[in-house]
A and B are shown apart, each in its own frame.
Chain A
Amino acid sequence: MKKIGVILSILFCLCFLTGCWDRKELSDIKIVSGMAIDKGENGKYKVTVEALNAVELNTQTAGGNAPTLVESIEGDTVSEISHLFNEYMAQILVFSHMKVLVISEEVASRGMLDFIDYLERNIEMRDDFNIIIAKGDKAEDILKVTTHFRKASSLKISPQLDHFLEDWGGDPGVEINDFISELPMEGKEPVLATVKLKGDVEAGKSMDNISKVTPDTLVEIDSLGVFKDKKLIGFLPLVDARNYLWIQNKLKRTSMSLECKKGNYSAVRLTTSQTNIAAKWKKGKPVFHIKINAEGYIEGTQCYRNVQNVGTIKKYEKLIDKTFSKEIEDTVKKVQREYGSDIFGFGEVMRRQHYDTFTKVKDHWNEVFTEAEVKVDINFVVRRSGIRSKSFFTETEQ
């Protein structure tokens, strides 16, 4: 009896002394799906949040009003600002469902990335949201666009980035935890996907925007932002973004066009790929041998060769190897020449494979990187040719 009494009183205390401190009823919270960081005029930062209007996002309860509420506040720390939003809103903001963090080009190129410490430290936020750069525009504008897919801008950008990575490879697939780990890493500089607005931001704010088949304003994935010494220094076009992924062994699938006859092209779909990088030192210069084993199938051809012949397939394979190893080499050379920033992580490969030599040069690795020799060797195997062996043009051609 005494024992039960003790247990009961402990349970009683447990309930009333500790309980409910982080209890928030659903009607008291507002979900934030996106955050944008701009440079402030009166404070260090200007933080914009995109808070979701749940009733409008549910098809059954939607009444045609704005799906999100986007507001900005200026201040010196993102942390403080994120708790100030009741200046405008009725409910408490919950950041655990944040999908996208947009950083303005200005903030990124000035290297004002200190606020990332707060994002990582924060108990509420996940560490897997997408982090992107708004090229040219203000970062807050990216969140102010209504979209056909799920209405809210960040709810659209997040799967847009993921699917682009999955289907073609235009997004580097950098989530906040990747970015944080790459930022201070020796021998690897981070990259970020870059988006920009197509059209006018004022038009994008209205629900009229999504009543059109071609909206006035859209967020498009534009390029790849290259960092050096924790600062954004430039952009690489999307094709280079794909080659970047390929070298990183993060490319899942892609489609490639290659010239099989002058003015005529064939399309090849890549389905699996495995990249291995071997690092060497040759006469004081680093040499990287990138070996890519890939498989895929022919998706379309304008050359009408009979793909039933093994010879034709072999020709295609050779052509692919030649075309794309050159393309990848060009990308690397471009980065070496223009930015001198080792975004490919060659230094990291070197650190793993030749640790002693790397430690000697790690302080000026980016300079060493610009002189690196890169050789790409693709071994592409064409497995199939779609569901057609001969093109219907093949017959007429012969």
Chain B
Amino acid sequence: MNYFKKILSINNKKDIPSNVKPEKAREIHLNTLTFEALKEEITKTFGSTADLQSDIFRFGKSEGCIYYLETVVNTEMLKEMLGSTLQNSDEEISVNTVEDLHRLSKKSFGVSGYKLIDCVKDMVTSILEGRIVIVFRGVSQALSLSYINSEGRSVTEPTTQTVVRGPKDSFVEDVSTNINLVRKRIKNQNLRFEKYEIGNETRTSVYMGYMNGIVNEKILEETRIRLKDINISAIFESANVEELIVDKSLTVFPLALNTERPDAVATYMLEGKIAIIIDGSPFVLVVPAVLTDFFTSPEDNYQNYFMSSFVRLIRYISFMIGLIMPSAYVGVLTFHPELLPTTLLLSVIAQREDVPFPAVVEVLLMEITFEILREAGVRMPRAVGQTVSIVGALVIGQAAAEAGIISNIMVIIVAITAIANFVFPNYAFANASRLIRFVLIIVASILGLYGVLLVLVFMVAHLSSLRSFGVPYLAPVAPFIIEDQKDVFIRAPIWSMNKRPSYLSPNISQKQKAQGSPSPPKVEGEGKKK
């Protein structure tokens, strides 16, 4: 460790010439600087950046200076504002004191969210945030106005969590649009968002959203502390925040949910969970997350509950298939041929007659090929997508079997494993099972099904040791909570789910009054018949 540190520190000294140092905004009060000195200070802080504008203008009798970054400010709106407010103003007006500035702000910008600042550091922050800052000569406060150019991707359909029936909007990179999408769904004064700035260099806005009064105070406080404690230079994606705030554990399982669906976020918040929205990322984090959350899709609530329950069962089954199918193949074929029905075993033996490799090599070969294909499919440029699918079908398909490298049954195993892995509503969880699958294959080749079982026992032990913001990861299955079972393996009718999940210990656990589904209206007179 020390050795590496040494190397790094030496390199650092060599790389940065001593005369250039990163600029820092100084905490100087505005009344200590003259109009010109302030302008010099700001230009010096920003250095040689090309997009900083600092223009001096006349406003009535007084002189002012406007600072902004032209690349982040909406110049159209700015021009309009300058035109209407400043130039059409009375020739006699003057802004010489702080009171004048206050009066002007109230009169002209009262509704547009102005901010008065009196420190150079705050000025720099405002400019960086995309606001414009106006300073009048002789006034010890500056006026900061929001003209952020909020151009970005418009709201589109989700790309990773699609539904057949249900809302088709998804989060975008812009944080205020995202909050808007949630607010539109929950019109409630108890929906609160707390703002944090994370990233020493990037100063990314991170919003923590929760339902006041529903969310458990302890979990909320814990999340607050963890967000505040983040000390990192840059944040670009919610995944960065996720890694910094989840409970410290060596695990492949995701301990925070991420979703790009506003309806999912709203549902989770109303259950008592906390959403963390990061500027610049269309994926919103939801904490605390438990294992069973990864098996539920927002669409479960939008379709018939029998169907939803069935689909959930399918998800759990496919999780197991994706996890153990290849290793079970290896284990059964090399250690326990007695487990197969005779006819199937004979057919497998006949098929494997010409395969030159042991079963484990065959499986690893195919699984790695599939992982390569999959990675290629994600990373490659869209234009060459066709090529990969055609070549891929050859590599893990009939052609490979005909070439005598693998048996026909192996093609089926790889295919069913791959498909089972795509069933998950949440991509992060599918990745976890991908990794464990390889461990299982190798162990199965050494210890057979006994080894598979051994790894699964270890996996369950590991899962039950995990916590997400203090909530046991396997809740409500272990610890088993009977009243939470309505929304775990089955999805009960929505009118019967009157309580919020109790493993989150929400402040108010009752969602709504207990009720039943409506019955057909009684025909008049029918009840009176005897």
Contacts and interface: CB of A to CB of B under 8 A. Distances in A.
Interface string A10-27: 000011001110111111
B447 A31 contact: no
Contacts of A97: 337-338, 342, 345
Interface stretch (A55-63, A107-115, A297-305, A375-383): A55-63
A397 B152 CA distance: 94
A96 interface: yes
B338 A52 contact: no
Q: Among the interface residues B346, B348, B358, which one has the most CB atoms of the partner chain A within 10 A?
A: B346
A124 interface: yes
B359 A26 contact: yes
Given A15-B446, A19-B446, A61-B353, A24 B334 contact: yes
B348 A26 contact: yes
Given A19-B447, A55-B353, A61-B353, A94 B337 contact: yes
B351 interface: yes
Interface in B402-455: 443, 446-448
A22 B335 contact: yes
Q: Among the interface residues B342, B358, B448, which one has the most CB atoms of the partner chain A within 10 A?
A: B342
B350 interface: yes
Contacts of A33: 342
A23 B342 contact: no
B346 A18 contact: no
A23 B352 contact: no
Contact of A26 (B337, B343, B446): B337
B358 A25 contact: yes
Nearest to B447: A19
Measured as residues with beta carbon below 8 angstroms from the partner, the interface class of chain A is: 20 to 34
B334 A23 contact: yes
B154 interface: no
A25 B338 contact: no
A126 B338 contact: yes
B352 A27 contact: yes
Contact of A20 (B350, B353, B446): B446
A23 B332 CA distance: 10
A58 B447 contact: no
B349 A23 contact: no
A276 B21 CA distance: 101
Contacts of B347: 54, 58
**Interface SS, B side:** helix
B349 A31 contact: yes
B354 to A, nearest CB: 9
Interface in A58-78: 58, 60-61
B306 to A, nearest CB: 35
Interface in A32-61: 33, 52, 54-55, 57-58, 60-61
B241 interface: no
B248 to A, nearest CB: 15
A27 B353 contact: yes
B459 to A, nearest CB: 14
B333 interface: yes
A185 interface: no
Contact of B359 (A25, A58, A124): A25
B344 to A, nearest CB: 10
Contacts, number: 72
A126 B340 CA distance: 13
A155 interface: yes
A200 to B, nearest CB: 28
B352 A26 contact: yes
Interface in B335-375: 335, 337-338, 342-343, 345-353, 355, 358-359
A29 interface: yes
Interface in A67-98: 94, 96-97
Contact of B346 (A15, A20, A54): A54
B446 A31 contact: no
A61 B350 contact: yes
B350 A55 contact: yes
Contacts of A29: 337, 349
Contacts of A155: 342
Given A18-B447, A19-B446, A58 B346 contact: yes
B346 A31 contact: yes
B338 A124 contact: yes
Nearest to B357: A25
A99 interface: yes
A25 B342 contact: no
A58 B408 CA distance: 13
Given A23-B335, A26-B334, A26-B337, A31 B345 contact: yes
A224 to B, nearest CB: 27
A20 B445 CA distance: 8
Given A19-B446, A19-B447, A126-B338, A26 B333 contact: yes
Q: Among the interface residues B345, B349, B446, which one has the most CB atoms of the partner chain A within 10 A?
A: B349
Contacts of B338: 94, 96-97, 124, 126
Contacts of B345: 31, 54, 97
Contacts of A19: 446-447
Contacts of A26: 333-334, 337, 348-349, 352, 359
Contacts of A15: 443, 446-447
Interface in B277-327: none
Interface string A133-162: 000000000000000001000010000000
Interface string B88-126: 000000000000000000000000000000000000000
A65 to B, nearest CB: 13
B353 A99 contact: no
Contacts of A60: 350
A126 B341 CA distance: 13
Given A19-B446, A20-B446, A23-B448, A99 B351 contact: no
Nearest to A4: B250
A157 to B, nearest CB: 13
Contacts of B335: 22-24
A25 B348 CA distance: 12
A96 B447 contact: no
A92 to B, nearest CB: 11
A57 B353 CA distance: 13
Contact of B353 (A54, A94, A96, A126): A54
A146 to B, nearest CB: 16
Contacts of B352: 26-27
Contacts of A25: 333-334, 358-359
B143 to A, nearest CB: 56
Nearest to B348: A26
A18 B451 CA distance: 11
Nearest to A27: B352
A97 B358 CA distance: 22
Nearest to A33: B342
Contacts of A57: 346, 350
B351 A58 contact: yes
A20 B338 CA distance: 17
A287 B104 CA distance: 119
Nearest to A24: B334
B440 to A, nearest CB: 14
Given A19-B446, A25-B358, A96-B337, 9 more contacts: A18-B447, A24-B337, A25-B334, A26-B349, A26-B352, A54-B349, A97-B345, A124-B338, A155-B342
Interface of B: 333-335, 337-338, 342-343, 345-353, 355, 358-359, 443, 446-448
Which 9 residue pairs spanning A and B have beta carbons closest together?
Answer: A96-B338, A58-B350, A54-B349, A19-B446, A54-B350, A54-B346, A61-B350, A55-B350, A97-B342
8 contacts: A14-B447, A15-B443, A23-B448, A24-B334, A29-B337, A33-B342, A54-B347, A97-B338
